Structure 1
Amino acid sequence: MPNTQPPIQLNSQLCFQLYTANKKFNKFYQDALSPFSLTYPQYIAMLTLWQYAPLSVKELGNHLHLDSGTLTPLLKRLESHNWIKRERSHKDERTVIIQLTHMAVTNRDSVFKRVSNCFKVLNLTPQEKAACSETIATIEAHLDHYNEQHNAN
């Protein structure tokens, strides 16, 4: 019996569209963050720390959905570039607390200014940005649900 399904077209695949958009976002952020010697993963760690520091490594990992094995090398690089300092907790030696350095606090607004150009480049209205965010959140929620179901079996 011949296949009656039309062939799947690459450019019509939502996963491919998200993949290519992500690559383009990464390129934008690579260029925007290069004066600060920050990578995108380091930037999102810094965003979280600027909002919530001090944090334990575990707390930061929870915010970023990263495990400590992925996070530790990233934090070592941030520390070597003087963005953060890591110290053992006085209450529990097994816990590492991440603090911002003076340099991180001082450079925060400069970093924000560089990356805020992203919204100018995208030329989205606040409503369009909100709609994109809502759609992406919906996709994430459905994938989380799928993964929970899939892992349960």
Structure 2
Amino acid sequence: MLCFSVYAAQLAFNRLYKQLLAPHGLTYLQYLVLVALAQAQDRTVGELGEVLFLESNTLTPLLKRMEAAGLVVRRRDTQDERVVRVALAPAGAKVVGEVECVPLDVLSALDMPMGDLQQMKAAMDRLGAELRKTGG
């Protein structure tokens, strides 16, 4: 079953990321938020949700915890108060710099040729896109 293989790989990735991110006091989701904000400094909560495939009921409490930890800053949009904007706080930007090596650490932990990993990523991207078309 393809779904079980994907699930098992995801669990293994989570364990590896947990090990790599623990020294920085980050969870995998917090890491993803920081990376997304580093790529585009000022995003709305909705934009972050789209980029990370997270619903607001998951993202909002996560962002509140990250704000309490000093990693992000949340503020109301000046033109539409219903919209919440999120940006990296100085401490969050510092952590982003500290975790820049994580993708390379993940690759070095895998004993697989880079070409195989690139093909697998492309296939997983296609699989995800097809699943999203079905409403999944």
Q: Under a length normalisation based on structure 2, what TM-score does the superposition of the two structures give?
A: 0.91
Would the aligned equivalents of 1:53 and 1:99 in 2 still touch at CA under 8 Å?
yes
Distance 1:72 1:14 in 2: 32
| 1:133 corresponds to 2:121 | yes
Match of 1:65 in 2: 53
Identity of aligned residues (%): 32
| 2:67 aligned to which of 79, 84, 92 | 79
Match of 1:36 in 2: 24
Within 5 Å, which residues of 2 pair with 1:16-55? 16-55=4-43
Please state how far the C-alpha of 1:136 moved relative to its aligned partner.
0.7
Would the aligned equivalents of 1:33 and 1:115 in 2 still touch at CA under 8 Å?
no
Please state how far the C-alpha of 1:66 moved relative to its aligned partner.
1.4
Q: CA RMSD in A?
A: 1.5
Please state how far the C-alpha of 1:146 moved relative to its aligned partner.
3.3
Runs of at least 5 residues in structure 2 that lack an aligned partner in the other structure: none
Distance 2:64 2:37 in 1: 15
Runs of at least 5 residues in structure 1 that lack an aligned partner in the other structure: 1-12, 149-153
Relative contact order higher in (CA < 8 Å, ≥ 6 apart):
2
Pairs aligned (count):
136
Larger Rg: 1
Distance 2:112 2:82 in 1: 45
Match of 1:109 in 2: 97
Q: Under a length normalisation based on structure 1, what TM-score does the superposition of the two structures give?
A: 0.82
Q: Which runs of 4+ in 1 moved over 4 A?
A: none
Please state how far the C-alpha of 1:70 moved relative to its aligned partner.
1.1
